[in-house]
Amino acid sequence: MSVSIKTPQEIEKMRIAGRLGSEVLDYITPYVKPGVTTAELDRLCHDYMVEVQGCVPAPLNYCPPGYKPYPKSICTSINHQVCHGVPGDKALKKGDIVNLDITVIKDGYHGDTSRMFLVGGDSNCSILARRLCQVTYECLWLGIAQVRPGAHLGDIGHAIQRHAESNGFSVVREFCGHGIGANFHEDPQVLHYGKRDTGIELKPGMIFTIEPMINAGKAAISELPDGWTIVTRDRSLSAQWEHMILVTDSGVEVLTLSAGSPARPDIVASLLP
Mean pLDDT within 207-229: 97
Per DSSP, 120 falls in state T
Give which of 98, 83, 100, 116 is closest to 226, Cα–Cα: 83
Mean pLDDT within 26-33: 98
Question: What percentage of the chain has pLDDT greater than the value 70?
Answer: 100
Residue 114 CA, chain-centre distance (Å), reads: 4
Q: 3-class DSSP state for residue 14?
A: helix
pLDDT of residue 273: 84
Q: Is the pLDDT of residue 219 over 80?
A: yes
Q: Within a 10 A sphere around the Cβ of 48, how many other Cβ atoms?
A: 21
- Measured CA to CA, the distance from residue 165 to residue 31 in angstroms comes to 33
- Measured CA to CA, the distance from residue 73 to residue 58 in angstroms comes to 7
pLDDT of residue 11: 98
Per DSSP, 152 falls in state B
- Measured CA to CA, the distance from residue 245 to residue 239 in angstroms comes to 20
The model's pLDDT over 36-71, given as tens digits with 9 standing for 90+, comes to 999 999 999 999 999 999 999 999 999 999 899 999
Q: Is the pLDDT of residue 1 over 80?
A: no
pTM of the complete model: 0.97
Q: Is the pLDDT of residue 103 over 90?
A: yes
Pick among 3.10.450.30, 3.90.230.10, 3.90.1150.10, 3.40.1160.10: CATH of 8-256: 3.90.230.10
Q: Is the pLDDT of residue 144 over 80?
A: yes
What is the domain partition of the chain in residue ranges? Answer: 8-256
Say if residue 225 is preceded by a cis peptide, omega within 30 of 0.
no
pLDDT of residue 45: 98
Query: Alpha helices, DSSP H only, in 81-185?
Result: 127-144, 153-166
Q: How far apart are the first and last CA of the chain?
A: 31
pLDDT of residue 270: 87
- Helix 127-144 × helix 153-166 angle, to 10°: 160
